[in-house]
Amino acid sequence: MEHDLDCDVLVLGAGPGGYSAAFRAADLGLKVVLVERYPTLGGVCLNVGCIPSKALLHVAAVMDEVSHFESLGITFAAPTIDLTRLKAHKDKVIGRLTGGLAAMAKMRQVTVVQGRGEFVDPNQLNVELTDGQRQSVKFKRAIIAAGSEAVKLPFLPQGDERVVTSTGALELRQAPKRMLIIGGGIIGLEMGTVYSTLGARLDVVEMQDGLMQGADRDLVKVWQKMNAPRFDHILLKTKTVSAEATAEGIKVKFESADGTPAALPEQTYDLVLQAVGRVPNGKKIAADKAGVAVSERGFINVDIQMRTNVPHIFAIGDIVGQPMLAHKAVHEAHVAAEVIAGELLGDAKLSQSAFDARVIPSVAYTDPEIAWVGLTEDDAKARGIKVKKGLFPWSASGRAIANGRDEGFTKLLFDDSEEAHGHGRILGGGIVGTHAGDMIGEITLAIEMGADAVDIGKTIHPHPTLGESIGLAAEAFEGACTDLPPARK
């Protein structure tokens, strides 16, 4: 065993949460060791998730956009697709970002150890290095940021390159003619968008009664109408019951959720993407040897300071629960690092840091994008919360019409309880349309700041932009929008 490393803070996992925790702790003057099993920093998100998928989605969006230009008098030849060069582009994007992280770790004097880490006791972690040797790391505080991995369905053929998770799908090993997406959530539909644009016909099978659960149905309806041509079949309330690898493809059988025969008989696919969710890695790090409690499903419970049941060990990101989103993990990371620095350096203000976000936005980077934050209409109805809606259709947006993309809308939900007296604060909002994800941050800030419709509507937004639809939706709520027909009395 190599000589032990001693540090103030050990961070296990170098995804967006892990590297943010390590860098923040180092910036606050602590000695940090960052343990990561992969050769590069950035975790799933940067290497095989958020970033590479967005690189490919951008390519798909441009391809889809120019395909409609013939009606505008501009004609392009049919695209020629070189998967090798497209994959190289994606890898270049990843390399630029991972290289930047490695440089920033060096600038901050963060010690990076590549290998698989497991706790030995409450103050020590053993790392199995890539060469098979082991290294011991002793720490005063630890932050567990070990993330999650894609669920793999046991009945699907194993070791067959035609059956993939999102990680395998991003490898672009083939250009399938027929593709099955198992799971109608965001990840599967994003990857389906890419492969569809590259020439695949899609089927999707989902156990629930709708795609993209969590978003309001009116948002999803706009996406589904525009994307209907991509799909041969959308199977709701349906489950996949078996799959067999054959020379012709992967033969798949379906069954209705209630156990009756499915509407679609056995089908054969060139590619099957399993996108039925992710499971936390809580049971893969020997957390019990440190005394850290891990749930049956692999999650680690924490308080608002991201502290586990062991006072000097913290946890952040996917491993502490839903939503499994990189932007949540980063904010949790800063909290954990600040609390630790406050305790070790005697800084009372830092030691009081806490994760107290009111809301966390979600985005589906499909085309059109769907973004939402805070209370949804479905949630409000289920919980008996009275809300009033302000909605601005993009068919009245000069910028959306100029872009040829006026299918979307922006809506804001305000408190309509008796206590609000008709001037309730914003509780939630949703956007469907191009660049929805780039705009949802304004609604998130409005909720965090406790803004009402007047605050938002009286904020001058630049014209003509898609972002002004947020202000116009607030004006619509107030009955003061002059870009819409007069409100009915």
* Complete DSSP assignment for 264-326: S--EEESEEEE-S-EEE-GGGTTGGGGT----TTS-----TT-B-SSTTEEE-GGGG-S---H
Instruction: Name the token pair of 462.
Output: 């630049």
Taking the mean position of all CA atoms in its chain, how far away is CA 185?
Answer: 11
Task: Answer positive or negative: Cα dihedral of 381, 435, 364, 426.
Answer: negative
In three-state secondary structure terms, 377 is helix
In three-state secondary structure terms, 237 is coil
What H or E segment, with its residue span, contains residue 465? none
Over the range 424-456, which residues count as b (16 or more CB within 10 Å of their CB) and which as e? bebbbbbbbbbbbbebbebbbebbeeebbbeeb
Query: Residues 21, 337: contact at Cβ < 8 Å?
Result: yes
Catalytic residue among 58, 312, 334, 463: 463
**463 counts as catalytic:** yes
In three-state secondary structure terms, 117 is strand
ω into residue 323 within 30 of 0, thus cis? Answer: yes
As annotated, the active-site residues are: 463
